[in-house]
Amino acid sequence: MRRSTTIPLVSRQEQVASLLLAVGRASAGRPGLTLVGGDAGVGKTRLISHVAQAAEQAGANVVVVHCVDLGQVGIPYLPFTDALTQLQAGAAGPEAATRVADLVKERPALWRLLEPGVSGDADHDERLQLFEGIARSLAVAGAPERPLVLVVEDAHWADASTRDVLRFLAARARSENVLLVVTYRADDVDRRHPLRPLLAELSRLEHVERMDLRPFDEAELREFTTALAGRPLPPAGFAEVLDRSEGNAFFAEELLDAGPDSASLPWTLTEVLRTRLERLDPEVQQVLRIASVAGRRVREDLLRAAAARSGSPDIDAALREAVTQQVLVVSGTHLEFRHALLAEALYADLLPGERSSVHRAYLAVIEQEGPDGMPIGSAAERAHHAFEGHDLPAALSASRDAALRARRLLAPEEELRHWEQVLALWESVPDAERRIGRDRVDVALSAGEAAARAGDPMRAVKLTRRAVEGVTDPVRRAGLEHVLVHRYLDLPTWDETPGQVEQAIADLRSALAKLPPRSPDRIWTNALSARLAMILDRDEDAREYVECAVEEARATGQAGALAVALSTLAVLNVDAPDRASEILDEARTASVEAGDVLTEMRTLYSGTANRFYAGELEAAEQRVRHALARADELGLAWSAPTVNLRILQEVMLYFRGDLTERGGPGVPATARYVMEAVRMYATVARGDDDAIARGEALIDHWATDGQIALIGGGSLVDALTWAGRYDDAAALAERITAHLGEVWSEVFLGRIWLSALAIAALADAAEAERSAGRAGAPGSAAATAVETRAAERLDRGDSLLAVARETAQRGRPRGGVLGPEGLAWLQRAAAENARLHAVTGSVADGGSSSAVLWADAASAWQETVNLFGFGYRYEVARSRYRWAEALLGAGEREAAEVEAAEALTEAQEMGARPLAEAVRGLARRARLDLPGVRRATASTLTEREEEVLGLVAQGLSNRQIGERLFISTKTVSVHVSNLLAKLGASGRAEAVSLAHQRGLLEV
């Protein structure tokens, strides 16, 4: 029987065409990335091999690299290290090799990747240099008409750093002559697999194509089996293969190879593979088992050496037979199983003792020194083989080496896994401390630091707490308290619980009593004490701690502690934004010098927030862009300070009137709901149909983060108000206020915003009642109920405004100055309350006092527009709409028309549908001449008479109609008389009836 590699490719023509088109685009300078997924054995490698041959014939250079399975640990950047090695060796031609070699010489960060012997901790700036170096190396290897096609196989085994590079390459693609093809096993990528969020993120990019390979259908499988067998299979035999293979190409091929008699075909793939392999000579089977221990691919020299140590000194004949039978294929200096399932079946068939023995054989080989004096294998490979070979002392040492190597390569997730392996092995190795050169406490601290840099603050806390609790020496334990507090502060909501902060500051005070003066630990403890005191609003204590920390840190050159202390000092100087900015710049410089990337990100966030809350939006926007770019460079895309930066970025986009719906690709679970909450601002402003549902879905997550309650809940209040659910909106605002009063403090500044939104709901409720004409006859029960509700609303509105003003006084930020946004919302609360009084007063008397109330409201709204003018485009437009409404109530029609026209234009440009509809509704009622609002009349009635008739049909009195349309009662009476005459009606009821009959009113 022929092998699939020797026959023409069956089916997949659509996928082949798509991939070759992508190659053509790359040739023309339009880079791309194709994700090829499918179940094991479905034919991914066969497809890619066929396309690679066709691409090479068309002039492309194809480089194939692999991810490897080393269990819970991996070798950082392995496929890209392999790719650069191949490119330097001429895989893309001699000219490309020279360009890549020259580039590597210019990029020290790449030396760490390509030279295992390079030592020393890396500056975290090098992460960007490393990623850019990889991207640039691939770019220079491609050329017009000769693009580089880089195939990364088996991405389901990719380590975290490799996934980061894939993300970087996809995001930075511009005009390179490069096509990246990534294959992965779809059946291995379940919802918890780390590759899954990356696939979702990449799939949203315009230049990324996702290709899912399906099993063969019946016709395709018939063509495939006919080509393999050289003739059509008998109906019964084909039916058996179809049933058992379910269209899987590899399974079908192995079933055919297992025997021609369909009745004897085995039922499982493992049995199929075992049957096939058992037909080989015992010597060949033994060599293949040894090869399987290395995984799908193994260097030929390593296999030979491991086989010799395992009792197979002469393997030439065995290897030739394995290649002839196409169990193994030659790939450069490597031998590779034709399919990973073959290696897996062989490995699974080994007895435990056999596995351990072969793993130890590989370990012995890769521990030998190469020509450069370094071990042949990587530390991660040594750790893997040592652990699986039950050589625990060697596994411990190799895991330590692998952790240090990962740290030098800026691969924190891999570093964390290796340190955790060291901790797991510690009790099993009696002389662990001697072998490692440090005690268990130090290892746990290193693991905690790696977890913090990997963006897993909870794991960092657990590891650091374990380290601190394991210390019995009081002075050393005192010196570690600040490290634990540092880790706690990385938790998103830890500092929102005063009891926890109180206990932490007490622990630090106790530590200070034990630490010697000017010692690094004492400086750090003072710096962290200052930060905790500031959280508890004990600014005098905070200044005392921070000044001591800054003085001693500068004197002793403790850059890390200086950065933390200065970050706190900047907040204490928030009343002087320029001075605070200078302090933060110094803090950032110190954090960069110390290599403390989390503190650096905190300084970048604080500097951005400093300008944002000062109302300097352009400066804040520049800073947030720079800070997020820096976060990407450092691999801290979703650390706690970076999440806060992303929140600020979303808020500023909303302020600018950018209501574009932005998805959340790649957002981790820890940040998902707060990002959904902040995007609620734009969701509500756009008027999305599911805005209320999305806001309600966030209620269950209020307890996890106060920002979710404030931002998501406040936006839901706004959505309920737009939907006409005024009582629900006001009640929700009060519920949020009570909740955050318990979680944060009674006078948190967000109360101003929530109070303004609640008063707006009350004013809208009063307006709706006025428009519906529910006043009833004077003295009636209905009239009494309306008056009672009006009085209750006024009391609630006055109380809410008092709450907002009290918050502004008692809850002011440090420095005592309420920022531009806070002042604007405080003024809007006053304007909404003035509107509430004007609407309620109109219902009460409709006389001259109503005009005075509306004039007061107009003045309040004018000031609101001015205060939001610092850059809050959406609220300027909404406040201008309310200003126009108040101007109409005060009788200033021309001025109202100007403001309404501006509000409508802004709302339409932003895509703020509810606001635009509200302005149009106001214009129709008041007969304002706005673009797209006036309409032609199709009856004998004028437009104004039709509007009056519609309100008459609702049962409104002439006075109420006048209030609704902003005209006098006398003018309404004239319109009513005219429409009665035109309709030939003797009264209002008859006019409504006749209008319905003639189709002049909607039923």
d(CA 150, CA 136): 13
Amino acid letter for position 437: G
Q: Which residue carries 């204490």 as its tokens?
A: 572
Rounded to whole angstroms, the Cα distance separating 547 from 550 reads 5
Contacts 24+ apart (CB under 8 A), 725-728: 726/761, 726/762, 726/764, 726/765, 726/768, 727/761, 727/765
What is the C-alpha to C-alpha distance for residues 294 and 335, in angstroms, rounded to an integer? 11
Is residue 138 within 8 A of residue 96, CB to CB? The reply is no
Looking at residue 200, its pLDDT comes to: 87
Q: For residue 643, report the phi and psi dihedrals to the nearest 5 degrees.
A: -60, -45
Question: What is the C-alpha separation between 753 and 275, in angstroms, rounded?
Answer: 73
Strands 328-331 vs 334-337: parallel, antiparallel or unpaired: antiparallel
Q: How many CA atoms lie within 13 A of 946 on its CB side?
A: 18
Nearest to 895 by CA among 859, 845, 850: 859
In Å, what is the CA distance from 40 to each residue of 153, 265, 352?
12, 20, 25
According to the model, what pLDDT value does residue 264 have?
45
In this predicted structure, what is the pLDDT of residue 938?
43
- The contacts of residue 363 (CB under 8 Å, 6+ apart) are 382, 385, 386, 389, 391, 394
What pLDDT was estimated at residue 772?
Answer: 65
Q: How far apart are CA 777 and CA 907, in angstroms?
A: 39
Which tokens go with 641?
């300070």
Each residue's pLDDT tens digit, 444-471: 999 999 998 887 889 999 999 999 998 9
Of the candidates 549, 513, 556, 557, which has an alpha carbon nearest to the alpha carbon of residue 532?
Answer: 549
- pLDDT of 815: 57
d(CA 114, CA 104): 9
- Cβ-based neighbours of 208, under 8 Å, separated by 6 or more: 32, 33, 34, 35, 170, 202
Q: Strand 32-38 relative to strand 334-337: parallel, antiparallel, unpaired?
A: unpaired
The rounded distance, in Å, linking the Cα atoms of 139 and 96 is: 10
Average pLDDT for runs of 10 along the chain of length 1003: 71 91 94 92 88 94 90 80 93 91 83 64 59 89 95 92 90 88 88 86 87 90 87 86 80 72 52 76 91 91 90 82 87 84 84 94 88 78 94 95 88 91 95 94 95 88 93 94 91 78 94 94 95 89 95 93 91 84 92 85 91 92 93 75 93 96 66 93 95 96 93 97 95 95 87 97 90 60 78 95 93 72 97 95 58 95 97 97 95 94 96 94 85 56 85 84 84 86 77 71 55
474 forms beta bridges with none
pLDDT for res 1003: 41
Question: What single-letter amino acid sits at 134?
Answer: I
- Rounded to 10 degrees, the C-alpha dihedral 832/837/839/844 comes to 170
Sign of the torsion formed by the C-alpha atoms of 114, 115, 121 and 122? negative
Which ranges of 573-703 does DSSP label H, i.e. alpha helix?
577-594, 597-613, 617-634, 640-655, 669-678, 680-686, 691-697
Amino acid in position 690: D
d(CA 826, CA 817): 13
Give ∠ CA 142-185-339 in degrees, rounded to 5: 85
**Contact 115/88 with Cβ under 8 angstroms?**
no
Task: HSE, CB side, 13 Å, CA atoms: give it for residue 14.
Answer: 4
Q: What DSSP element (H or E) covers 179? A: strand 178-185
